[in-house]
Amino acid sequence: MSERTLPQLTIGISGPSRVRLSHRLISFALRLYGARTVYIKPGSTIDASLLDGLVLSGGTHVHPERYGQEPEIKARYDSQRDTTDMALLKSAEQLGLPVLGICRGAQLINIYRKGSLCQNVTPLRVNTRHRALLLPLQTVRVVQNSRIAEIIRGPSIGANRIHSQTIKQLGRQLRVVAVDNDLFVQAIENTKGQWLMGVQWHPEYLLYHPLHRRLFKCFLDAALAVKNAKEPLINS
């Protein structure tokens, strides 16, 4: 894969205590364009001003107490990671850092913006398959005049599906920009403020597909724009 690299950026990748394949693939996708990555474990303290952008990766479910519900399903939770990710989102918002949320990360963005989740979407599916899909066999339809549409360069894209939860009530200053064939939310973007996007699928497993690589490239383009805008203030 030959890609044009960008001036080096430092990107934080937030994840669980144990680094898994998905996190290594996210790091690879970012390093493909010349970025340096810093892995952030639950409970870690990091000065977000040293970062140029933040990726919130997938993983365990966000505890329902974060959006005012009791657990309705048996699931693994990581309250320390929830706390760490919420703090990172707050710092990124204050600093204007671009944020990309993947699966759990997209859901966390919605919760941070005072939205909620459907804890078990599986029995609600009618037009889509009930089982997990690692290959891009799910059709995702995108809203035109959105960032995700500019990335995908078309009305739809094939994506994978590993999640069992979905966004229910949309958070503040967010809009839905992609859905599946059951109209479950597949991508969200902010309507004002920093560059903020969440996708429900896992593009890191689809790096052989140029349009899924473009998602990471456009995130880094946004991080570079913010970095360049800040440098005159630092040097003045």
Q: Residues 23, 202, 212, 218: which is the catalytic one? A: 202
DSSP annotation of 108: H
Q: Is 63 labeled as catalytic in the residue annotation?
A: no
Task: Provide the CATH number for the domain around residue 207.
Answer: 3.40.50.880
User: Residue 1 falls within a domain, yes or no?
Assistant: no
pLDDT of amino acid 233: 53
Using alpha carbons, list the distances in angstroms from residue 154 to 36, 88, 159.
30, 32, 14
Query: Rounded to two decimals, what is the model's pTM?
Result: 0.93
pLDDT of amino acid 2: 46
Low-confidence ranges of the chain (pLDDT < 70): 1-7, 232-236
User: Residue 5 falls within a domain, yes or no?
Assistant: no
The boundaries of the domain holding residue 103 are: 10-235
Q: Based on the structure, what is the number of domains in the chain? A: 1
Give buried/exposed letters for 75-103 (b at 16+ CB in 10 A, else e). eeebeebbebbeebbebbbeeebbbbbbb
Per the listing, tokens 């009530």 go with: 169
pLDDT of amino acid 74: 87
Report the relative pairing of strands 174-179 and 133-142 from DSSP bridges: antiparallel
d(CA 110, CA 196): 11
DSSP secondary structure letters along 35-85: -EEEEE-TT----GGG-SEEEE---SBPPGGGGT----S---B-HHHHHHH
Q: Residues 23, 189, 204, 212: which is the catalytic one? A: 204
User: Residue 54 falls within a domain, yes or no?
Assistant: yes
Q: Is 103 labeled as catalytic in the residue annotation?
A: yes
Q: Residues 103, 163, 212, 218: which is the catalytic one? A: 103
pLDDT tens digits along 175-206: 999 999 999 999 999 999 899 999 999 999 99
